[in-house]
Amino acid sequence: MADLKLTGVSKNFGSQAAVRDLNIDIASGEFVVLLGPSGAGKTTTLRLVAGLEKPDAGAVWIDGRDVTTMAPALRDVTFVFQQYSLYPHLNVYDNLAFPLRSPLRKISEDAVRAKVLEVARMLRMEDKLQNPATRLSGGQMQRVAIGRALVRNPSVYLMDEPLSSLDARLRNDLRLELKRIQQDTGATMLYVTHDQVEALTLANRIGVLDHGRLVQLGTPQQVYQDPDTVAVASRLGSPRINLLARSDVPQLPAPDGVQTIGVRAEHLKIGPANSATPDSVSAVVQRLERLSDQYLVHLRLKDRAPEIIVSCSPAHVAHAGQEVQIQFTQCLWFDASDQRVRA
């Protein structure tokens, strides 16, 4: 495996800036996930690393080599696309073997067979090797697509939302499988997604992209607990973080310059209406959602517009229309430009 570095990389499509001054350093064997909404620059970043796009500025380094002007075939990377991209006229074995039979590689058929069988065992698809690609389920097709990348042992694996088209259960199964494979092989992976669950469960580090800029890079715990901006705080967390204007809760103590208060559902506590304290907030219950052994309580601040969500146990559930008091146990502060204010 190899390290990957992007220094000052920018890419424009006409007047639209897709990637802006991107700097990222990925260590050998690291699993980095780029997280962001559609249009954030995730796929463009992968294409720049693969050589499918040329940067307008900056450089791409793989294993200490400047590959910015190299052809894709010479960069020693593999790319797993969102769609399966299998050869429909080939069976699973030949789809997996195809990258190894490239004229650029001098590999004996015995070595090809050994590698294909190794990857098939890793993907738990040994019994499907003779099946036509057109007779596989969606999840099996995606496993083969991932396997075609794994047979190569490249310097860097690039993955563009490879699980997004699958159903929830299969997505969860393959997410666990992919993490296991990465840990077993020690592969260097750059993976992009808009799904925060994938990012939190797969990544050694998460990079949050917003309008082509890398706004924060850190471990999943760092990015979730200590976000630098409102965009980062909003990107991670289910349910979504509650964001309130400072004027909505003037009774809460806050640092100077705070314009927006962020508080996650698990950092709010519900109490009865008669439990008011100087820094508690009155609210009225709007509706309830049951999630296994937890409830999400939707509340509206009394006489104000914002609706907030509290996560609580059944013992603390209120009913719709009930007035309650809310305690803020842990807040995140942001200024007028949506940057973090640290106390």
**Could you give the CA distance from residue 161 to residue 285 in angstroms, rounded to a whole number?**
38
252 alpha carbon, distance to own chain's centre: 33
CATH of domain 242-341: 2.40.50.140
Chain segment 191-223, per-residue pLDDT in tens: 999 999 899 999 999 999 999 999 999 999 999
Q: What is the pTM for the complete model shown? A: 0.87
Is 242-341 in the same CATH topology as 4-235?
no
Which among 37, 55, 44 is positioned nearest to 18, based on CA atoms?
44
Q: What is the pLDDT of residue 168?
A: 80
**Could you give the CA distance from residue 7 to residue 28 in angstroms, rounded to a whole number?**
17
pLDDT tier at 57, thresholds 50, 70, 90 = very high
CA distance readout (Å), 297 to 15, 110, 324: 44, 61, 11
pLDDT tier at 290, thresholds 50, 70, 90 = confident
Contact status, residue 231 vs residue 215, Cβ threshold 8 Å:
yes
Please report, for the chain, the start and end positions of each structural domain, with discontinuous segments joined by +.
4-235, 242-341
Q: Find tokens 């990857």 and name the residue.
A: 119
Q: What is the pLDDT of residue 315?
A: 66
Average pLDDT of the chain, as a whole number: 90
Strands 65-66 and 4-13, sheet pairing: unpaired
CATH of domain 4-235: 3.40.50.300
